[in-house]
Amino acid sequence: MTMIAIIAIGAALAGFVQGLSGFAFALVAAAVWAWAVPPQLVAPMLVFGALLGQLLAAPSMLKGFSLKATAPFVIGGWIGVPLGVAILPHVDPVWFKAGVGSFLVTYCPVMLIAAGLPRLRLRAVAADGVAGFSGGVLGGIAGMAGSMPTLWCVITGRERHESRSILQVFNIAMHSATLTGYFLTGTLKAESAKWFLVVAPAMLVPTFLGAKLYHSISDTAFRRVVLVLLTLSGAMLLAGSVPALLAR
């Protein structure tokens, strides 16, 4: 399979999932792209696709939006993004696959069981800032800015509309900052930018289809299916990368 086909398939699947659930573009796309695309190319494409998907869904973030609730996440994330951007050029491809795989097989099962866990009724500005900082670092490295804030919102029992508005504003802010950082540091090169022309059209229709389907099926049920598939993808990435690391 050619690289253009792999990129298009990853963008289409990720766009559909993001349109349906409002998150997870980077997780789904990385699970496909990490097989054949170098991490220095993957990261800008993940950020671009995630930002485009969030902008398409921007009207939904108006319901439940609170500047007071969102600001700590965004400020913490802005502090973390430069660190992630600085780390990216030093990422080894095999370690990148192992890292993505480890994250998927750790994060996704936690999200699967999180709905049944007791809620931590903690609304501390500092804790929200740390969650945002963690997301900013991951966003700078691999465009996965929303993962830690998403998990934190679930654990702290935030209402659905409040969580979605926080995450959409946060992700738009982080992805915009990350792309700017990539451009200023030279990480965003012409070779990466040209693939945006594949990512954008491949994800547009699936994103709208996912958003339309969102209104007719259970979001909780679909989210569980996605997380199971992502866990399996992570396990496959580990199966391919760990032997290579052990052979070094």
Per-residue pLDDT reduced to its tens digit, 119-165: 666 668 999 999 999 999 988 887 778 878 888 887 887 877 788 78
Q: 219-236, pLDDT tens digit by residue?
A: 677 667 777 877 887 888
- At 118, the pLDDT band (50, 70, 90 cuts) reads low
Structural domain containing residue 182: 3-246
Which pair of structure tokens corresponds to residue 104? 């998927």
CB atoms within 10 A of CB 150: 27
Count the helices and strands in the chain (H runs, E runs): 11, 0
**Looking at the 3D structure of the chain, how many domains does it have?**
1
Tell me what percent of the residues of the chain surpass a pLDDT of 90.
26
229 vs 248: CA distance, rounded Å: 30
Among 63-67, 117-121, 171-175, the range scoring the smallest mean pLDDT is 117-121
Q: Is the pLDDT of residue 116 over 70?
A: no
Are 165 and 158 spatial neighbours (Cβ–Cβ below 8 Å)?
no
pLDDT score of 62: 64
Are 26 and 44 spatial neighbours (Cβ–Cβ below 8 Å)?
no
150 vs 174: CA distance, rounded Å: 14
Three-class SS of residue 143?
coil
